């Protein structure tokens, strides 16, 4: 019974942390991979330019009352983060919702797990 409660608690925490998430992009060796959500192609191209030279990082966007907020982690420095925030602010939330879905998602992208998404990445992304 205790094991079942722990599993339910873990799933609940996992779900609540992703409820307000607009997208999650993983960065490795200067390359971007959309793991979850929808990202307009032009925004993704700007993010790719901004993260050139970044070894590892993550870019997350969450819904807020006024639209959305962008969070970066890992090796992404403050200058790059601000550049991506400026780009992000040009896109209203409605554009994010209507952006194209991930084309031919891998098992990792379907599950929303970054390391698994990179493992199954077909190498077509940059």
Segments forming the whole domain that contains residue 64: 21-119
Q: What is the pLDDT of residue 96?
A: 81
Give the pLDDT of residue 50. Answer: 95
Q: How many domains does the chain have?
A: 1
pLDDT value at residue 31: 94
The residue ranges of the chain whose pLDDT is under 70 are: 17-18, 122-126
Indicate the burial class of 21 (C-beta count within 10 angstroms; 0-12, 13-18, 19 or more): middle
Phi, psi of 30 (to 5 degrees): 80, 5
Q: Indicate whether 103 belongs to any domain.
A: yes
Judge whether 91 lies within some domain: yes
Q: Is residue 124 part of a domain?
A: no
pLDDT at residue 123 in the model: 64
Q: In this structure, is residue 112 part of a structural domain?
A: yes
Specify the pLDDT at position 60: 95
């Amino acid at each position: 019974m205790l094991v079942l409660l722990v599993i339910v608690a873990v799933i609940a925490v996992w779900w609540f942390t992703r409820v307000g998430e607009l997208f999650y992009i993983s960065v490795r060796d200067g390359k971007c991979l959309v793991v979850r959500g929808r990202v307009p192609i032009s925004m993704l191209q700007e993010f790719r330019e901004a993260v050139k030279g970044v070894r590892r990082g993550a870019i997350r966007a969450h819904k807020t009352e006024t639209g959305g907020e962008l969070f970066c982690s890992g090796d992404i420095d403050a200058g790059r983060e601000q550049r991506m925030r400026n780009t992000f602010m040009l896109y209203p939330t409605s554009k994010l919702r209507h952006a194209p879905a991930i084309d031919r998602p891998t098992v990792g992208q379907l599950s929303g797990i970054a390391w698994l998404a990179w493992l199954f990445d077909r190498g077509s992304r940059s």
